[in-house]
Structure formats: C-alpha cells, structure tokens
Amino acid sequence: MWKRSLAKEALYEPENLPNNLKCNHTSRAFQCSSLTMRDLLTFHNRFYSSHLKLKQDALIVKFTQALPVKRRRPKNNTHSMKSFQTKYFISSCEGLLIPVCQQSFLSTLNISRSRVQRVIENFMKTGTNPTENRGGDHKSSKYKDKKVAVID
C-alpha cells in the first residue's frame, strides 16, 4: 500500500482500549452501570473491526437515535435552537441495546462529540447512510464547457 493510504487508515484505528465507565447512572434513561467491561470491549472491537470511516459512521448511526425536540423553550436569539436530541446505545454481549449517556458512548469508542454530531446531522438531512465525499475527480467538471466547445 501507499504511504498516504496507510496514514489514512491509521486515522481510524483505536488509540487505546476503553476505560471502565466513570458514571454510575442507574435510571431507566441511562443504564451505564449495568454494562460490564466485556460489553464495552466487545462494542469497542466491533466499532474498530473496520478501519474504514464509512463503516464506522454507519455503526454510529445504528447505535444512536435522533429524535425531534419535543419542547422548544423561548430564549434570546443569540444562538440557534437544537433541531434534534440524540439517544445513545451500547449493545451488550446478549444483544440487548442498553441506553447510555453521551459521555459513556464517546469514551467507549474514543471518538469526539463533534464527529458523532456531524454523522447524525448528515443522516437527519439525507436520510441515508453516509457517503464518501473525499477525493475524486474535481477538474473534469471544471473544464467541461471547454471540452464541449472544442468538440463542437
């Protein structure tokens, strides 16, 4: 493989294994404390089994749920309102989806909050799985008119 391709794949490899969760949520909304270290490792390994960004983004979409905001509270118009809220899930070894807090989800996968938000926003806009927009041919469309003029 080319050096550049190896560097791109290294971007989506795990930096380290997940740590034990620091939160002790036991409510119905967040059941972080019911997860075992085995569940976290299985989920982490499932996410990083592929070093392709598209597959990882598809897994993020699969284990999150975006819902419209139910109640919009009036505030100053200094910042934009949230258009949706996100629920996070981690699959247990038994195959159950366990709702967790955002901090637990992000620390298990070792990814940033902005990456998850960007993936979910794009999914909400398009309604399809993420597609690859990087790379490709940009110049042929730029000079398309010239090519047609020469041919005619």
Helix axes 113-126, 102-109, angle to 10 degrees: 110
What is residue 89's DSSP assignment? E
In the block, tokens 């019911």 appear at 34
**Contact yes or no for 115/98 (Cβ under 8 A):** no
User: pLDDT 10s per residue in the chain (152 long)?
Assistant: 678 877 777 777 777 777 777 787 788 888 888 888 999 999 999 999 988 889 999 999 999 999 888 877 777 766 667 778 899 999 998 989 999 999 999 999 999 999 999 999 999 888 888 777 777 777 777 888 888 888 87
Beta strands in the chain (DSSP E): 64-68, 84-91, 97-100
Residues 2-30: tens digit of each pLDDT: 788 777 777 777 777 777 777 877 888 88
**Contact yes or no for 66/120 (Cβ under 8 A):** yes
Give CA–CA dist 137/86, Å, rounded: 35
114, containing H or E segment: helix 113-126
Task: Output the pLDDT for position 78.
Answer: 65
Q: Write down the domain spans for the chain.
A: 3-151
